[in-house]
Amino acid sequence: MTTPNPWSLVPAADYERHMGAGGLDQLAPLSALFQEAYLAAQPDRVLVVGCATGNGLEHVSPAVTRRVVGLDVNLQYLGICRQRFFHLGPRLELYCTSALAWRAPPGSFDLVHAALVFEYLQPAALVEQVAGWLAPHGTCQVVLQLPGGEGPPAAPGVLELIRRAMKLVPPEELTALMERHGLEPRRSKTVPLRHGKSLWTGAFSR
Ligand SMILES: C[S@@+](CC[C@H](N)C(=O)[O-])C[C@H]1O[C@@H](n2cnc3c(N)ncnc32)[C@H](O)[C@@H]1O
């Protein structure tokens, strides 16, 4: 029997409390990073890897985007995402799956956004998937957590499993993997957060 991904066990309320303003306070900065990537790409088709409850999808404009696909291993998160973004109708497709197992025809997306998800799976395998999913002119925007900063203590229990499952990915390692697949770094920056933590974000394209 395979071990379930610990993320599939974290209730949405615990997740949002942990990530929200009373916890790590990362939801607002992550939403802003999605908005920046979205506005720069103006994508007809966008894929969000590890979309959780849909943070950032409020920036998707039906006038710009024909297809929004979200992947996540937690079915409860996807149910909430569907309810919150009901107005996107059939444009929004949500799949409860590991990103490593999901298949799409090559070149299916103009923007692939992957924020704080590389830390929970094999980065090389996800980069290979992304390289296949991206259209020739497409962009992949990644957000990684940088080392340092304490943050408020996580609630005990299942969030502790998440903490143990996380493995930081150095931006240089990610960049080398992307380059191996012909995806060149275009822009990057570090985003300081409350509690002394910081994020790194980078855009890659052919
Ligand atoms: C820290 S949260 C992502 C935050 C979100 N991207 C944002 O910008 O607010 C990590 C998400 O990745 C999902 N996840 C973890 N492993 C995954 C996998 N193998 N495939 C797809 N999603 C995964 C988790 O369920 C969780 O919703």
Q: What is the mean pLDDT of residues 180-200?
A: 95
Confidence category of residue 113, pLDDT binned at 50, 70, 90: very high
Q: What is the mean pLDDT of residues 162-169?
A: 93
How far is ligand 1, taken at its centre, from the CA of residue 50, in Å? 3
Answer yes or no: are the C-beta atoms of 184 and 194 closer than 8 Å.
no
Mean pLDDT of the residues in the chain: 95
Q: How many helices (H) and strands (E) does the chain have?
A: 6, 7
**Separation CA 45–CA 67 (nearest Å):** 5
String of DSSP letters for 186-200: EEEEEEE-GGG-EEE
pLDDT of residue 1: 62
Q: Is the pLDDT of residue 192 over 70?
A: yes
Q: Is the pLDDT of residue 35 over 80?
A: yes
Amino acid at 68: V
Does 199 map to a domain?
A: no
* Local structure of residue 57 (DSSP, 8 states): G
Measured from the Cα of 26, ligand 1's closest atom is: 9
Measured from the Cα of 8, ligand 1's closest atom is: 25
- Whole-structure pTM value: 0.97
Instruction: Name the residue range of residue 146's domain.
Output: 6-164+172-185
pLDDT of residue 2: 72
Q: Name the residue of 30, 120, 158 to mutate for ligand 1: max ligand atoms within 8 A of Cβ.
A: 120
Does 93 map to a domain?
A: yes
Does 40 map to a domain?
A: yes
- For the domain that residue 112 is a member of, what is the CATH number? 3.40.50.150
How far is ligand 1, taken at its centre, from the CA of residue 106, in Å? 22
* Ligand 1 proximal residues by C-beta, below 6 Å: 5, 7, 27, 30, 50, 52, 55-56, 71-74, 77, 98-100, 115-117, 120-121
Q: What is the mean pLDDT of residues 145-171?
A: 83
pLDDT of residue 157: 73
Q: Is the pLDDT of residue 148 over 80?
A: yes
pLDDT of residue 154: 64
Does 176 map to a domain?
A: yes
How many domains are contained in the chain?
1
Q: What is the mean pLDDT of residues 178-182?
A: 98
Q: Name the residue of 73, 81, 142 to mutate for ligand 1: max ligand atoms within 8 A of Cβ.
A: 73
Does 100 map to a domain?
A: yes
pLDDT of residue 53: 98
Measured from the Cα of 55, ligand 1's closest atom is: 9
Confidence category of residue 130, pLDDT binned at 50, 70, 90: very high
pLDDT in tens, 81-106: 999 999 999 999 999 999 999 999 99
Does 62 map to a domain?
A: yes
Does 29 map to a domain?
A: yes
Closest residue to atom 14 of ligand 1, CA basis: 50
φ, ψ at 46 (rounded to 5°): -125, 140
Does 180 map to a domain?
A: yes
